[in-house]
Structure 1
Amino acid sequence: MTLQPTDLPAAPRTAPSGAAILERQRGRESAARTYARSFPIVPARAQGMTIEDTDGRRYLDCLSGAGTLALGHNHPVVLEAIQRTVSSGAPLHVLDLATPEKDEFTDALFATLPGDFADKARIHFCGPAGTDAVEAALKLMQTATGRRGVLGFTGAYHGMTAGALAASGGVGTKTPVPGIAADVTRLPYPYSYRCPFGVGGEGGAQISADYVERLLDDPNGGVVPPAAMILEAVQGEGGAVPAPDAWLREMRRITAEREIPLIVDEVQTGVGRTGAFWAVEHSGIVPDAMVMSKAIGGSLPLAVIVYHEDYNGWLPGAHTGTFRGNTLAMATGTATLRYVSREGLVERAAAVGARMTERLTALRSELPVIGDVRGRGLMIGVELVDAEAEPDACGARPFAPQLAAQVRDACLERGLIVELGGRFDSTVRLLPPLIITDEQVEAVLDRLTDAIAAVTATQNAGAGA
């Protein structure tokens, strides 16, 4: 019998208690663990959007491996690809040798790319994480241009290895690493609700574009011609902040006119997440390189860069990695890419995301702690604020990180997994799988609404005591 995405397999007869496993984790894992702190549960089984912990409690997973699980947990087409590949006797690890699975994956991936990009594209298989692909893209462009510096943006997140971390916006993770961002010029990303210029809307985005162009052309601006510009079409960890299409087109024009390679980080936005197969399609821009990971592996580790053939100047062995030949991930990635295309999940992500965003936006009058609702497709951010404080010039009220953490905890109590992001971790992020059903959409929205209302009511009661 074929498993449906919402079915769960039978539970094992015996398993260690969740409390015991959590205690051992606290005693043995590093202090850098993150999600384990936010969600003190021990997932034992999962199917589709449902996770069941060792205590038998079920949760709707609106985190989806930080966007990795386009088809949710253990989707039948993914499991079939794993079983078929293992049963075939295919080598599971062959470095960068050619295999039928790699060839098929490349075909499937290129079939999803904008035609004017795919026609002259090369692919490089990297280490298994998105940050590995970011490093490869930066190194590729440094090699091609002979330059060193990078143009990055406020609010960005590109990974945790050296170059990727340097290009990211988070100060907290960079502060303990002296000199990590020495070669990065930080530029203002358009964030309408909290516009860096205090203007917001189209005006703020235009000022940002003007600022970038004038800075690069100013002989006393302090910016040495860079090796590349790197950006996200929708900032993920930055709080689900979408870049205006017109602004993206300006970044493409500005970089093209100055022969600055443009790298677009599609690690979290790719494979239909934003309501287009790739987020660059909304604006119509053609970058010089695209960084891809997460969903392209069909839930298994895989990362690649796809770039214009003009930049294919590496010498053999110039960028390698032991685990760039993950045969299983290529097989599950192929199955996922083709399923998303065949089943119309890109269009569904756009429609369902619009419906969720519309309902959440309508809640702002009822729940004023919701300062802003934004995103694209099934990449949605709900920014929580101090509703009692005075708004700034753009109408934004102060961040409410404590409130956001309480809402996340209240969601977990109601069987909903959501994570925080954005400045001061004040944005509740929704990243459900593309296979989310209409019934699950309503359940997610109901549980999130109830959690925000309950936390707000408790705070108001405490203030009035």
Structure 2
Amino acid sequence: MALSGTVRRQPLREPSARTYARALPIVPVRARGMTVEGPDGRRYLDCLSGDGALALGHNHPVVLAAVREVLDSGAPIGVLHLSTPVEERFVAELLATLPPRFAPGARVRFCGPTAADALAVARGLARGMSGTVVEPAEDDRLRRLRESTRDRGVPLIVDETVTGVGRTGAFWAVEHSGVTPDAMVLAKAIGGSLPLAVVVHREDLDAAGAPVPPAGAPRGNQLAMAAGAATLAHVREHRLAARAGEIGDLMLRRLRTWAADLPCVGEVRGRGLMLGLEFVDPALASGEARGAPGLAAAVRRECLRRGLIVGLGGPRAGVVRLLPPLTVTDEQADAVLERLAYAVEAATASPDPERPR
């Protein structure tokens, strides 16, 4: 049954490696934390974090140690459906982080290496009812949606692919609203920088209609499970979600204060360390058509010239996205904002932001 006007269908995510390679012409040879180094020795602050997959930044010591432990043990790296101590540790760490009202009795289904795999399985859990997959954005909207789905007997499936593992200031973004979902789609950061995707669902949710990945699909990646368990434990033990909320709020306030007098910035939005600056054409009326993707692309180019890697998003790629790792320091946050400010100044001074200067 459809929930007209309240649900946005979440498209299957597609690999964007080619897009990033064209827009970010960097050949990284070394990386640690938030710093990426090219073959010429030039260093960049990575404010994209693998599109959110690198919760702890590049090559964090706890992640490297967890991967080395599996490699040195001689255990198999891929085992399909067989249960292993590595998988058990990952599941235990994952369950320990889930919202309290959701965790008891929750089932974990390994789906494959990508979010698209997990989304397909999550839709199957709805058994054709309406598969309403949403990202946990506005708290009030999510609460209303929870009421609507409960009244209609429709499972509420929350996609935490980008928002999860502490990025928004809570371990899972759905916690901000107090809503308990029926299922959660998890990918990117849960693999500790390695490909891993799972669906966690209510125990009594019938999974008979969920699609089964093809035989041989990589669902038992032991290295990803080990890296993911180490990441989940580190974020939880060091309260990095709370830290992301604190430093993210500070960055958001500073961005809004700085952008208040810039007519080319339509909105500065975000939560925790998931921030975005919307660039617009001030000569046009409000609405989606007002976006200025050419200017946003020019800002990204100017950021790169200043040693800062950012992303683009939004319906027309008119939003500059900032996704620093949860380990970002105060000094690094200051540097990000400073370089971004200079980049915007340079991009807006160009007579034609569509062409590189």
TM-score for the superposition, normalised by structure 1: 0.70
| 1:195 equivalent in structure 2 | none
Identify the residue that residue 381 of structure 1 maps to in structure 2. Answer: 276
Q: 2:92 aligned to 87, 104, 107, which one? A: 107
Matches of 2:302 and 2:310, distance apart in 1: 10
In the alignment, which of 206, 217, 225 is matched to residue 330 of structure 1?
A: 225
What residue is the counterpart of 2:250 in the other structure?
Answer: 355
- Find the residue that maps to 2:101 and give its secondary structure: helix
Deviation at 1:458, TM superposition (A): 2.4
Determine the structure 1 residue equivalent to 2:118: 133
Match of 1:41 in 2: 26
1:456 aligns with 2:348: yes
1:95 to 80, 88, 109: 80
Q: Kindly tell me the number of residue pairs found equivalent between the two proteins.
A: 339
1:63–1:311 CA distance, 2 compared to 1 (3 A): same
**Aligned equivalent of 2:142:** 248
Indicate if the aligned counterparts of 2:169 and 2:242 stay in contact, CA closer than 8 A: yes
Deviation at 1:232, TM superposition (A): 0.4
Q: Measure how far apart 1:317 and its partner are.
A: 8.7
| Partner Cα separation in structure 2 for residue 402 and residue 386 of structure 1 | 10
Q: How does 1:285-304 map to 2 (within 5 A)?
A: 285-304=179-198
**Residue 141 of structure 1: how far off its partner (Å):** 1.9
Report if aligned partners of 2:166, 2:241 keep a CA contact under 8 Å in 1. Answer: yes
Q: 1:73 to 1:385 in 2, by over 3 A?
A: same
Q: 1:39 to 1:259 in 2, by over 3 A?
A: same
Aligned match of 2:51: 66
Distance 2:230 2:100 in 1: 21
User: Deviation per CA, 1:326-358, whole angstroms, max 9, x where unpaired?
Assistant: 111111111100000111110110011101110
Residue type of the partner of 1:84? E
TM-fit CA distance, 1:55:
1.7
Q: Deviations over 1:187-214 (max 9, x none)?
A: xxxxxxxxxxxxxxxxxxxxxxxxxxxx
Evaluate the alpha carbon distance shift between residue 267 and residue 31 of structure 1 in structure 2; reply closer, same or farther with a 3 A threshold: closer
Decide whether the 8 Å contact of 1:110 with 1:118 is kept in 2. Answer: yes
CA distance in 2, matches of 1:255, 1:319: 27
- In structure 2, what is the equivalent of residue 16 of structure 1? none
Read off the aligned partner of 1:448 and give its amino acid letter: L
Per-residue deviation, 1:422: 0.2
Whole-angstrom CA distance in 2 between matches of 1:316 and 1:397 = 38
Equivalent residue for 2:174?
280
In 2: Cα distance, 1:319 partner to 1:441 partner: 41
Q: 1:432 aligns with which of 321, 324, 327?
A: 324
Determine if contact 1:297/1:330 at 8 Å carries over to the other structure.
Answer: yes
- Aligned position for 2:107: 122
Deviation at 1:364, TM superposition (A): 2.1
Alignment partner of 2:132 out of 213, 229, 236? 229
8 Å Cα contact 1:122-1:312 kept in structure 2: no
Report the equivalent of 2:336: 444
Q: Which stretches in structure 1 are left out of the alignment for 5+ residues?
A: 1-29, 148-225, 234-242
Q: Which 10-residue stretch deviates more, 35-44 or 318-327?
A: 318-327
**Is 2:39 aligned against 1:54?**
yes
1:271 to 152, 162, 165: 165
Give yes or no for contact 2:126–2:154 (8 Å, CA) kept in 1.
no
Asked whether the equivalents of residues 124 and 210 of structure 2 are also in contact (C-alpha less than 8 Å), the reply is no
Q: Which letter does structure 1 place at the counterpart of 2:263?
A: P
Which residue number corresponds to residue 18 of structure 1?
A: none
Pairs within 5 Å for 1:151-170: none
Structure-2 separation of matches of 1:253 and 1:68? 31
Separation in 1 of the partners of 2:309 and 2:35?
10
Q: Which amino acid aligns with 2:99?
A: P
Q: Deviations over 1:94-135 (max 9, x none)?
A: 101000000010000000001111112111001101111001
Letter in 2 for 1:71: L
Cα separation, partners in 2 of 1:31 and 1:138, compared to 1, 3 Å:
closer
Within 1, Cα distance between the matches of 2:313 and 2:70? 37
CA contact (8 A) 1:363 1:370 kept: no
Aligned partner of residue 116 in structure 1, secondary structure: coil
Deviation at 1:318, TM superposition (A): 4.0
1:442, distance to aligned residue in structure 2 (A): 0.4
Equivalent residues of 1:381, 1:428 under 8 A apart: yes
Q: Does the aligned pair in 2 maintain the 1:261–1:288 contact within 8 Å?
A: yes
Amino acid at match of 2:238: E
Length-normalised TM-score, structure 2: 0.91
Q: Name whichever of 270-279 and 451-460 sits farther off.
A: 451-460
Q: Which residue of 1 aligns with 2:6?
A: none
Unaligned 5+ segments in structure 2 are 1-14
Query: Would the alpha carbon gap of residues 93 and 369 (structure 1) be closer, same or farther in structure 2, given more than 3 Å must change?
Result: same
Residue 204 (structure 2) pairs with residue 310 (structure 1):
yes
Give the corresponding residue for 1:186.
none
Counterpart contact for 1:109–1:334, Cα < 8 Å: yes
Change (3 A) 1:317 1:98: farther
Question: Does the 8 Å CA contact 2:160/2:172 hold for their aligned counterparts?
Answer: yes
The alpha-carbon deviation at position 397 of structure 1 amounts to: 8.3
